[in-house]
A and B are shown apart, each in its own frame.
Chain A
Amino acid sequence: MSGLSGSARRIAAMIERYVYLLKGSWPRVVELAYWPTMQMVLWGFLSEYLTHHSPFLAQAPGVLLAAVLLWDVMFRGQLGVSVVFFEELYSRNLGHLFASPLRAYELGGALFVISLLRTLIGSGMAAVFAFWFYHFPIWRLGLLLVAFFLNLIVMGWAIGLVVAGLVLRYGLGAENLAWAAVFAIAPVSGIYYPVRVLPQGLQIVAHALPAAYVFTAMRAFFFRHTLTLGPLAVAAALNVVYLSLGLVVFLRTFHNARLHGRLLNLGE
């Protein structure tokens, strides 16, 4: 069997494994949509209030809701990689997986696909809710939404790979990093405010993050009705770098786990 078709088959088998997991537990599916929707409810009311009391926000109704929805894409994207990877550790299955012909990068590929699916379910439900409840159709961003979505989910994947690598290195004691990692960069990602309000040092950090460029482009669209492709191109270039780094970290920690015998021992 050729390398490419063999890889596709193994990735498909792993996707099947994660879909079984999702289908087998309706609370998991509900949970996927629950948190983004609750966020949407909270920010929706705040947005309604501020739009009527702030001339600045009145210029761009929906900007806060768009920010919440898009930020959630990155958060869900990251969780979709790291938390789904933890499932293999919870079930002490890594030994079986890597005694099979599955390559570590193929597992990464399957995690990306399942992360995309989980994010579409979770953020998609919240987006439908935002339209239904607050009359905010985020899909009116059209192709721009696709560009925002892809940039943010890829950044989430890069962080997810690093978190998965750290858990492979330090064990499940490090699993809380999955929840903490994205929030650590939230203040410098310019989600709800422009990067220029940050102190100079943090602005430098922000300019190294793809998310900051995405949210800059988002505000430009809402406030000035302009398509600014420059920031999105920078975000895409940075994402190539970060995703490559994430893959390197994951593959290096996988090699390290083989060196120290952790593939058989890691688990609850």
Chain B
Amino acid sequence: MTAEPAIAVHGLSKHYGPVAAVESLSFTLESGRVLGLLGGNGAGKTTTLAMLMGLLLPSGGSIRVLGEDLLHHRYRVLERINFSSPYVDLPHRLTVYQNLRVYGGLYGVRGVRARIEELARDLDLVDLLGRPYGRLSAGQRTRASLAKALINSPRLLLLDEPTASLDPDTADRLRGYLRDYQKTSGAAVVLASHNMLEVERLCDDVIMLRQGRVFDRGAPAALVSQYGRDTLEEVFLDMARGRAPS
């Protein structure tokens, strides 16, 4: 018997009146794999992530997450997934520890104190646990938000620009940590990012989105080769400027 993929999306669309934010998106993602969503501003990356969590209802199509129909059994799924985005904050007046405790409660994490301590060590948050989230720097907030995203050891992790606002050293260590987490836990990861280096380093597959539609897809190295370019960034620029593969 073949295990169900972590995500199976078919014909997914989201329309706001006449505007198609996402149109006819289909893909599958197996557990233990990392999928990158690439695209410029307004390409539909965040819209797609929001639909994968049920925060946004699609106009059409189907979404199966961890073997469940997300539109009908959303709450069976949500305890096993999590997400992080620089565009969604945690309560500013609560300390990092308090925030993680509250989310540990919401996700039903057993031994939440030990889990928080473990994440604090891994994400270099030990000295920040007692500090209000609103008083953290942008980079510290990103790490705290990532700790929240990992609090329930999710089987599916949705990350919107996970290393935005981080200095190169911290971003590099975080990528390493994410890769380790994904490998040891066997979790699937969807990553929306503008950082091509990050996508090349972390992702097994990439979907390139433009104006809500799939422009191209494939493994990062295969796309680079297909477009006759040296880096994924050059491929991205080709897509953004409407140039066809050479």
Interface residues of A (CB under 8 A from B): 1, 6, 9-10, 12-14, 16-17, 20-21, 24-25, 87-88, 90-103, 255, 258-261, 263-264, 267
Number of interface residues of B (CB under 8 A): 36
| A92 proximity list for chain B (CB < 8 A) | 87-89
State how many angstroms separate the Cβ of A13 from the closest Cβ of chain B: 3
Q: What 7 additional pairs, Cβ within 8 angstroms, besides A95-B50, A99-B78, A267-B89?
A: A6-B108, A13-B105, A20-B93, A24-B93, A98-B55, A258-B56, A259-B57
**Docked CA distance A259–B47 (Å):** 12
| B87 proximity list for chain A (CB < 8 A) | 92, 95, 264
**Docked CA distance A91–B47 (Å):** 21
State how many angstroms separate the Cβ of B96 from the closest Cβ of chain A: 12
Judging by beta carbons under 8 Å apart, are A21 and B107 in contact? no
| B243 proximity list for chain A (CB < 8 A) | none
| B78 proximity list for chain A (CB < 8 A) | 99-101
Judging by beta carbons under 8 Å apart, are B108 and A101 in contact? yes
Known contacts: A25-B93, A96-B148. The answer to whether A9 contacts B55 by CB under 8 A is: no
Query: Is chain B's binding surface mostly helix, strand, loop or mixed?
Result: mixed
Which residue of B has the minimal Cβ distance to A103? B75
Known contacts: A102-B106, A261-B47. The answer to whether A24 contacts B94 by CB under 8 A is: yes
A-facing mask of B84-103, CB < 8 A → 1, else 0? 01011111111000100111
Judging by beta carbons under 8 Å apart, are B90 and A96 in contact? yes
User: Does any Cβ of A come within 8 Å of B83's Cβ?
Assistant: yes
Judging by beta carbons under 8 Å apart, are B91 and A95 in contact? no
Judging by beta carbons under 8 Å apart, are B56 and A10 in contact? no
Known contacts: A9-B108, A264-B55. The answer to whether A96 contacts B50 by CB under 8 A is: no
User: Does any Cβ of A come within 8 Å of B79's Cβ?
Assistant: yes
Judging by beta carbons under 8 Å apart, are A20 and B98 in contact? yes
Judging by beta carbons under 8 Å apart, are B105 and A10 in contact? yes
| A91 proximity list for chain B (CB < 8 A) | 89-93, 134
Interface residues of B (CB under 8 A from A): 16, 46-47, 50, 53-57, 75, 78-79, 81-83, 85, 87-94, 98, 101-108, 132, 134, 148
State how many angstroms separate the Cβ of B42 from the closest Cβ of chain A: 13
Judging by beta carbons under 8 Å apart, are B103 and A96 in contact? yes
State how many angstroms separate the Cβ of A110 from the closest Cβ of chain B: 11
17 residue pairs of the A-B complex, CB under 8 angstroms, read A6-B108, A13-B103, A14-B102, A16-B102, A17-B94, A20-B94, A20-B98, A24-B94, A90-B92, A92-B87, A93-B89, A95-B87, A101-B106, A258-B56, A261-B47, A264-B46, A267-B89
Judging by beta carbons under 8 Å apart, are B105 and A12 in contact? yes
Judging by beta carbons under 8 Å apart, are B90 and A93 in contact? yes
| A263 proximity list for chain B (CB < 8 A) | 50, 55-56
**Docked CA distance A260–B15 (Å):** 9
Judging by beta carbons under 8 Å apart, are B91 and A100 in contact? no
| B93 proximity list for chain A (CB < 8 A) | 20-21, 24-25, 91
Which residue of B has the minimal Cβ distance to A97? B106
Which residue of A has the minimal Cβ distance to B85? A95
State how many angstroms separate the Cβ of A24 from the closest Cβ of chain B: 5
Interface centre among A88, A103, A260, A264 (most CB of B within 10 A): A264
**Docked CA distance A28–B53 (Å):** 34
**Docked CA distance A95–B53 (Å):** 10
**Docked CA distance A258–B57 (Å):** 6
Judging by beta carbons under 8 Å apart, are B56 and A9 in contact? no
State how many angstroms separate the Cβ of A25 from the closest Cβ of chain B: 7
**Docked CA distance A69–B127 (Å):** 46
Judging by beta carbons under 8 Å apart, are B56 and A99 in contact? no
State how many angstroms separate the Cβ of B110 from the closest Cβ of chain A: 10
Which residue of A has the minimal Cβ distance to B145? A96
Judging by beta carbons under 8 Å apart, are A13 and B91 in contact? no
Judging by beta carbons under 8 Å apart, are A21 and B94 in contact? yes
| A9 proximity list for chain B (CB < 8 A) | 105, 108
Interface centre among A6, A10, A100, A258 (most CB of B within 10 A): A100
| B90 proximity list for chain A (CB < 8 A) | 91, 93, 96
**Docked CA distance A263–B56 (Å):** 8
Which residue of B has the minimal Cβ distance to A99? B53
